Amino acid sequence: MSRTVYLNGEWLDEADAKISIFDRGYTFADAIYEVTAIVGGKLIDYHGHAARLQRSLGELGIECPLNADELLAVHREIVARNNVVEGMIYLQISRGVDDRNFLISKDAKPTFSMFTQTKDVIENPYAKSGISVVSMPDWRWERRDIKTVQLLYPTMAKSQAAAKGADDAWLIEDGFVTEASSATAHIVKQDGTLVTRDLSHVILPGITRASTLDLARAAGIKVEERPFTLGEAKEAAEAFNTSATNFVLPVVRIDGQQIGDGTPGPITKKLRDIYVESRLATAL
Ligand code: PDD
């Protein structure tokens, strides 16, 4: 079924939405994006995603073409126009169309596009089975805190993981886990402490990460925000990823080594349950 998408102020059939070959998002990956989950036709963690969008734009000096009210309105309208019950909204803002020039000009007008994709977010079979990951070097640029569309390396890492029979890659830098190819990586130590990388330029400030850590602390789980090694991860009691469309996703194998008893651990399951419950209660 053909979707209705949003492009620069217009609602269009997906086949009619055209972007110039001169768009800097296309020639230089000069663009940022956000992915927001939809459950029950409502937006999950919307305010976090909207705030990070502004931050990414600010870091690159791109102006948001919509104000805060308009931004929420187009999110709501795209869900309604496509009758999406469960899935996600992908939003991208590029610097806009310009002659190919490494020097960034101030004149380009940002290109704003949005589309929806349906997906079983709650009844994700991997939430029950858990996923396997393999470690790979983190060869991305050093400003991973900006949610840019330069995703070639993460797509290569995920594809290489699949070729090795795994579901995802955990990326490693100087012996420490940075994050998964498109999710935040976490472990739970044998004493029940949740360990997750502290925020810096080397990881994306995950919106699901922030909510999950708040919920964990409120549930009395001890949280340590610090780098952890691949070795520490392999010795952990539990491991999991967080991201907008997978929520809290158990990791049960790292480089072929079973984590815990090889099934989703109790703290991971509890965090997924309370994440889902609390996000449904606050969905917009
Ligand atoms: N990816 N780290 C990276 C590198 C990511 O690409 C993502 C999200 C996250 C988790 O962030 P959040 O919880 O805000 O979704 C961490 C999105 C979902 C994607 O590219 O599809």
The answer to whether residues 101 and 237 belong to one domain is no
The answer to whether residues 55 and 149 belong to one domain is no
Ligand 1 atom 11 nearest Cα: 206
The answer to whether residues 65 and 49 belong to one domain is yes
Of the candidates 118, 139, 166, which is a domain's last residue?
118
- Please say whether the beta carbons of 100 and 22 come within 8 A: yes
The answer to whether residues 273 and 139 belong to one domain is yes
The pLDDT, as a whole number, for residue 1 is 82
The answer to whether residues 258 and 136 belong to one domain is yes
* pTM strictly above 0.95: yes
The answer to whether residues 99 and 157 belong to one domain is no
The answer to whether residues 86 and 159 belong to one domain is no
Q: What is the mean pLDDT of residues 142-165?
A: 98
C-alpha span between 269 and 128 (Å, rounded): 9
Q: Which atom of ligand 1 is nearest to the CA of 184?
A: 16
Would you place residue 160 in the very low, low, confident or very high pLDDT band (cuts 50, 70, 90)?
very high
The answer to whether residues 159 and 267 belong to one domain is yes
Would you place residue 105 in the very low, low, confident or very high pLDDT band (cuts 50, 70, 90)?
confident
Strands (DSSP E) contained in 174-278 are 176-180, 184-188, 194-196, 223-225, 238-243, 247-254, 257-258
Q: How many domains in the chain?
A: 2
The pLDDT, as a whole number, for residue 186 is 98
> Which candidate in 147, 158, 222, 234 is catalytic?
147
Q: What is the mean pLDDT of residues 246-268?
A: 97
Q: Are strands 42-43 and 86-94 parallel, antiparallel or unpaired?
A: unpaired
Is 106 among the catalytic positions?
no
The answer to whether residues 275 and 157 belong to one domain is yes
Would you place residue 108 in the very low, low, confident or very high pLDDT band (cuts 50, 70, 90)?
very high
Is 107 a residue whose pLDDT tops 90? no
Mean pLDDT in the chain?
97
CB neighbourhood size of 169 (10 A): 27
Q: What is the mean pLDDT of residues 215-231?
A: 98
The pLDDT, as a whole number, for residue 162 is 98
The pLDDT, as a whole number, for residue 15 is 98
The answer to whether residues 33 and 132 belong to one domain is no
The pLDDT, as a whole number, for residue 139 is 98
The string of pLDDT tens digits covering residues 49-102 is 999 999 999 999 999 999 999 999 999 999 999 999 999 999 999 999 999 999
The string of pLDDT tens digits covering residues 178-215 is 999 999 999 999 999 999 999 999 999 999 999 999 99
Of the candidates 118, 146, 181, which is a domain's last residue?
118
The answer to whether residues 83 and 215 belong to one domain is no
Of the candidates 118, 142, 174, which is a domain's last residue?
118
CATH number of the domain at 85, please.
3.30.470.10
The pLDDT, as a whole number, for residue 106 is 85
CA of 212 to the centre of ligand 1 (A): 14
117: enclosing H helix or E strand: strand 111-118
Q: Which of 136, 182, 201, 275 to mutate to test the pocket of ligand 1 (most atoms within 8 A of CB)?
A: 182
Answer yes or no: is the C-beta of 206 below 6 A from any ligand 1 atom.
yes
Domain that holds residue 110: 4-118
